[in-house]
Amino acid sequence: MDGSYKKYPHSFSSGNEFGVTLTGLTPEYTYQYRAYINDGNIQYGSEKSFTTLPSIEYTATLDQESIATHSAVVLFTFTDRLKEWGVFYSEGKPTVSDPVKKEFAKAALTLEELKSGTHYNLLPYVKDKQDKISYLPEIAFTTVKEKDVCVINGRSYVVDTLQNKRRVGDGTIYYSIALAEYPLKVYVLEVDLTDPTVQIETCLAKDSAVATERPTKMVERKKKEGYNVVGAINGDFYFYQDPVEIGIPRSGQFHQNEMVTNPTGRAGFVLGGDGKPYIDRVDFKGTLKKGSESTSIHTVNMLRLESNDKLTPNLMTLYTSAFGNTTSTTPGGTKVVVRPKVGTDFFFTANKDFECIVEEIYDNPGRSRIPKGHAVLHGRGTSADFLKQLNVKDEVTLSLKTDLRSAPDLLLDFKEMVGGSDNIILKNGVRAEGDDLYNPRTGIGYSKDKTKVYLMVVDGRQTDSKGCGMKDFGEIFRSAGAWNAVNLDGGGSSVMIVNDQIVNKPSDGSVRAVGNGVLITSQKK
């Protein structure tokens, strides 16, 4: 009984036990009570006390960070005192006739299979252990649009648009985004290969294998030559230790079907003569034949084979006009000057035999001239021995065998090729190779149907964009629509130019001179 000595008759029984339900009590209040029985004689038990619990205000709140394209999480309180809780949800005004998601164990209730970019209204409810149902304040939210989320390594990052998609040239779209939680700024050029008026091609620094040039200057120079350059990015890593080889692309390069430097087995982006893109490791095997005898051509316009320095003492190098007007100053060995058997000039392409006539043979003085319309073979060690057996006017055959490693003989005509860090960062839609270091990045990829090519740059080493690892970079490519992608030179080299404007923020504070680049050009002016 309480201070008013109110009597409460028994309200339920079980066997020989009787119970009393006390109602109308005040929360956080201490009561004294004494049980009694009346079988004709009233008998009282000893006096006892209890304190009622605080009143409970059940709440349901939306976990804002959980809102995704197709799901969201609602958090309930005091679920240990509940029998059931849940939400009715609808795109309009929610009612108890709408779909309901119930929960009996977890305080976090997950709504799934929602539509992306859709506004939802929720009516939460709780059912206590006495089966009393209470409805809580309504909740409203909008799921994230499908393309407004970038999933990287299992985590969803909300995408903020910096520059909306816009057409910047024939068959070319440009846009930029930010992932504030990463943080990262991303710049994308999307090229439609089905548009015959747009082309993707590589660009050699100063049109020479041994040179560096800022991509901004490449664009300026090409425009003066009559090109309509829509966009550009930096290209491959390049040799920089030895002054005589600074700027030579480390992975090899093809430009408008010409082998500028030989592929070195590193990962690269290739445009075939069929107009389709490929990403693979590209292998090269050069051969010099005289009758039934042959020897290897190890490099084209490259002074050493980085993957096998042991070959250097016996290296055979083919110098073409793409190297410049003269060979390098590398001393020792023997040189042979050749001209085409038919025609007045060489155009060295992949997977073709070139019939040549020997014009000169001499001991290598170091730097020597590459006569117009000719090529020069430089052999050292055993390669020099082979060259010394030749005679002026001999007929020899040069062969430049080039293959995609995963599909030898699939592609005979290599139109364009550029390489990078030897990391295929996205392979068949799955993050693949590379490091996890946060750096500025440049890369190139293509869609599953091979109709779209994506040129991408991310800023790094900045407070609002720290850069990303290569594998994460691959997944950013995937979010843009790519199926395969390769990492190019990054760090201070990373730059993107759109219609003459530098759109990213190079980490060096200025545009770095590099060995080559990738251009998007249009036939229209």
Report pLDDT digits (tens) over 432-483: 999 999 999 999 999 999 999 999 999 999 999 999 999 999 999 999 999 9
Q: Does the pLDDT of residue 524 top 60, yes or no?
A: no
Above pLDDT 70, what percent of the chain? 97
Confidence of residue 12 (pLDDT cuts 50, 70, 90): low
Report pLDDT digits (tens) over 365-392: 889 999 999 999 999 999 999 999 999 9
Q: Does the pLDDT of residue 309 top 80, yes or no?
A: no
Most confidently modeled range among 58-72, 142-156, 190-204:
190-204
- The C-alpha atoms of residue 488 and residue 271 are separated, in whole angstroms, by 16
Report pLDDT digits (tens) over 103-115: 999 999 999 999 9
Say what the pLDDT of residue 51 is.
85
Q: Does the pLDDT of residue 205 top 50, yes or no?
A: yes
Confidence of residue 101 (pLDDT cuts 50, 70, 90): very high
pTM exceeds 0.85 for this model: no
Q: Which residue has the tokens 């002054």?
A: 243
Token pair listed for 39? 């079988």
Q: Does the pLDDT of residue 21 top 90, yes or no?
A: no
Burial 362-396 (b: 16+ CB within 10 A, else e): eebeeebebeeebbbbbbbeebbebbeebeeebeb
- Domains of the chain plus CATH, in order, are 12-51 (no CATH), 60-144 (2.60.40.10), 161-250+420-522 (no CATH), 283-403 (2.60.120)
Say what the pLDDT of residue 223 is.
94
Compute the average pLDDT of residues 394-422: 96
Confidence of residue 53 (pLDDT cuts 50, 70, 90): confident
The three-class DSSP label of residue 199 is: strand
Confidence of residue 347 (pLDDT cuts 50, 70, 90): very high
Choice between 241 and 315, residue whose per-residue pLDDT is larger = 315
Say what the pLDDT of residue 1 is.
42
- The C-alpha atoms of residue 314 and residue 332 are separated, in whole angstroms, by 11
Of 91-100, 140-149, 171-180, 188-197, which range is least confident? 140-149
The three-class DSSP label of residue 404 is: strand
- The C-alpha atoms of residue 169 and residue 497 are separated, in whole angstroms, by 13
Q: Does the pLDDT of residue 308 top 70, yes or no?
A: yes
Q: Does the pLDDT of residue 46 top 90, yes or no?
A: no
